[in-house]
């Protein structure tokens, strides 16, 4: 396997293909970010399906797979599809997603019909044209890649120059219009960049799957940053790596299309993102939940000891706890040990007492609980028998700042609605 990979990267033909897909992947990530942020991902999908007739018409005119003519064909048909989708959704009662579905399938059907005409025409060059359906990176010639590189650099320059107009049109269209930005022109430019990107990508990825390369890198990149320039950069990296990995996977067996493998690689990055992304990733959410339930357990235990102490019981056993509250015994034991470790509890032969610090903390929690109960009755008109459940949760969330405000608003009360004493330190 490793030998194969080393061979793969040292082979000059493979190097050329890798360079090609790296460029395509990176530029798709960049352009796709703006489609994603404008919530126009379906349009990107429609464009990639719609350019098939453009490729065929380009081929009919050229008689060969000339990249520039194929690109011009794609560009014209891609534009036309965007315009017709816009026209249908703005002048008929059909919604945008309906007109997208109608137009993209119609254009794809036309492309397929043209494709079968071309394959019967007897032109020797036509055999490669079917590769535009699912993509075949290996068919890219050195000239193709040169053209793609030049177009990509052009797209990148436009993105850099138009960064601010793109940003405000994506974020707040009305504001952009109010400061005099010609929004229609910017939108047209963004569509053009999408069409161009599709045009250079379809040979390696295929019209059916090209939209994945536009959308998935941006969707993943959004999880890793809150800054637009960084998001564009991360999307470019994801797109590039997915392209390269997809080509690598596809060489496992001869004559496999590249598109599906690139999609698998993209999916891998999306999966990794959903698992590991900061804050919104699965592991991050799990960790947060764990910390929350640990905090709840610790504070509940301290509170129970405090209550028992109020009832005149200062040394507490496991049994005392479980009488007061159902709790997983493993969690109970673990939490008790932890509270002993941080010096809130004293443990003498499995009988627990509060230390001085533990007493302060327990009093704080009980105070939070009772203050919140009072707040619920006084400010939110809760009945006395409805307040306990809410306060059980909120007590864990009251920060020192909120406590200060509560005390001020309730004017340092001495007892809660159940006539229990509110403890002060």
23 near other proteins, judged by CB under 8 A: no
Between the CA of residue 97 and those of 88, 108, 277, 334, what are the distances in Å?
11, 16, 30, 54
Adjacent-strand bridge partners of 415: 421
What whole-number distance in Å separates Cα of residue 234 and Cα of residue 247? 20
178 near other proteins, judged by CB under 8 A: yes
What whole-number distance in Å separates Cα of residue 1 and Cα of residue 174? 54
Between the CA of residue 34 and those of 82, 229, 246, 269, 395, what are the distances in Å?
16, 11, 24, 19, 44
Is residue 190 within 8 A of residue 43, CB to CB? The reply is: no
420 near other proteins, judged by CB under 8 A: no
3-state class of 419 per DSSP? coil
State the residue for tokens 């999306």: 270
Taking CB under 8 A as the rule, which mask of x and - marks residues 219-258 in contact with other proteins?
Answer: ---x--xxxx--x---------------------------
92 near other proteins, judged by CB under 8 A: no
> Which residues does 333 contact at the CB level (< 8 Å), separation at least 6?
318
Looking at residue 415, the DSSP 8-state letter turns out to be B
- Closer to other proteins at the Cβ: 106 or 173? 173
Minimum distance from residue 21 beta carbon to other proteins (Å):
26
179 near other proteins, judged by CB under 8 A: yes
> Which residues does 332 contact at the CB level (< 8 Å), separation at least 6?
297, 301, 318, 321, 322
- Closer to other proteins at the Cβ: 72 or 168? 168
- The residue from 157, 161, 271, 275 that contacts other proteins (CB under 8 A) is 161
172 near other proteins, judged by CB under 8 A: yes
Minimum distance from residue 230 beta carbon to other proteins (Å):
8
Minimum distance from residue 174 beta carbon to other proteins (Å):
5
37 near other proteins, judged by CB under 8 A: yes
- Closer to other proteins at the Cβ: 177 or 420? 177
- Closer to other proteins at the Cβ: 30 or 231? 231
> Which residues does 161 contact at the CB level (< 8 Å), separation at least 6?
none
165 near other proteins, judged by CB under 8 A: yes
- The residue from 12, 122, 180, 400 that contacts other proteins (CB under 8 A) is 180
Give me the DSSP letters along 91-132.
HSS--HHHHHHHHHHHHHHHHHHHHHHHHHTT-GGGGGGGHH
- Closer to other proteins at the Cβ: 328 or 409? 409
Burial class (CB in 10 A: 0-12, 13-18, 19+), 122: exposed
181 near other proteins, judged by CB under 8 A: yes
Part in contact with other proteins (CB under 8 A); list of ranges 75-83, 129-137, 173-181, 339-347: 173-181
Selection from 38, 43, 37, 39 nearest residue 226 by Cα:
37
Beta strands 351-354 and 345-348 are antiparallel
Contacts (CB under 8 A) with other proteins, residues 339-358: none
Minimum distance from residue 378 beta carbon to other proteins (Å):
18
167 near other proteins, judged by CB under 8 A: yes
Is residue 277 within 8 A of residue 260, CB to CB? The reply is: no
Contacts (CB under 8 A) with other proteins, residues 206-225: 222, 225
- Closer to other proteins at the Cβ: 180 or 312? 180
Q: How many residues bind other proteins (CB under 8 A)?
A: 24
- Closer to other proteins at the Cβ: 182 or 286? 182
Is residue 218 within 8 A of residue 30, CB to CB? The reply is: no
- Closer to other proteins at the Cβ: 192 or 225? 225
Minimum distance from residue 175 beta carbon to other proteins (Å):
6
3-state class of 336 per DSSP? helix
408 near other proteins, judged by CB under 8 A: no
Minimum distance from residue 79 beta carbon to other proteins (Å):
24
Q: Which residues bind other proteins (CB under 8 A)?
A: 37, 39, 161-162, 164-165, 167-168, 170-172, 174-175, 177-181, 222, 225-228, 231
């Amino acid at each position: 396997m490793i030998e194969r990979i080393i061979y793969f990267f040292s082979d000059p033909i493979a190097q050329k293909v890798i360079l090609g897909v790296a460029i395509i992947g990176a530029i798709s990530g960049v352009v796709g970010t703006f489609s994603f942020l404008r919530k126009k991902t379906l349009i990107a999908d429609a464009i990639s399906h719609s350019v098939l007739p453009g490729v065929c018409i380009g081929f009919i005119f050229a008689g060969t797979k000339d990249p520039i003519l194929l690109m011009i064909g794609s560009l014209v048909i891609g534009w036309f599809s965007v315009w017709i989708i816009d026209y249908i959704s703005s002048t008929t009662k059909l919604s945008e997603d309906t007109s997208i579905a109608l137009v993209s399938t119609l254009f794809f059907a036309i492309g397929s019909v043209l494709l079968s005409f071309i394959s019967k025409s007897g032109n020797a060059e036509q055999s490669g044209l079917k590769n535009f359906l699912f993509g075949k990176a290996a068919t890219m010639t050195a000239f193709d890649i040169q053209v793609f590189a030049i177009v990509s650099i052009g797209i990148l320059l436009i993105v850099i120059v138009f960064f601010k107009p793109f940003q405000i049109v994506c974020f707040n269209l009305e504001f952009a219009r109010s400061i005099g930005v010609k929004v229609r022109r910017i939108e047209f430019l963004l569509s053009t960049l999408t069409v161009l990107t599709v045009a250079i990508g379809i040979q390696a990825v295929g019209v059916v799957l090209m939209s994945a390369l536009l959308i998935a890198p941006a969707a993943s990149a959004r999880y890793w940053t809150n800054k637009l320039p960084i998001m564009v950069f991360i999307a470019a990296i994801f797109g590039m790596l997915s392209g390269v990995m997809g080509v690598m996977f596809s060489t496992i067996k001869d004559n496999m299309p590249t598109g599906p493998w690139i999609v698998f690689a993209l999916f891998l990055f999306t999966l990794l993102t959903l698992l590991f992304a900061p804050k919104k990733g699965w592991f991050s959410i799990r960790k947060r939940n764990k910390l929350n339930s640990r905090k709840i357990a610790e504070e509940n235990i301290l509170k129970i000891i405090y209550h028992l102490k109020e009832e005149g019981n200062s040394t507490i056993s496991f049994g005392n706890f479980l009488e007061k509250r159902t709790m997983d015994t493993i969690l109970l034991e673990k939490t008790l040990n932890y509270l002993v470790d941080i010096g809130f509890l004293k443990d003498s032969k499995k009988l627990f007492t509060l230390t001085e610090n533990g007493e302060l903390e327990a009093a704080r929690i009980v105070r939070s609980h009772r203050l919140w109960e009072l707040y619920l009755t006084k400010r939110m008109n809760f009945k006395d028998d409805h307040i306990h459940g809410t306060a059980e949760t909120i007590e864990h969330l009251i920060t020192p700042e909120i406590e200060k405000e509560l005390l001020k608003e309730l004017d340092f009360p001495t007892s809660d609605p159940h006539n229990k004493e509110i403890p002060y330190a």
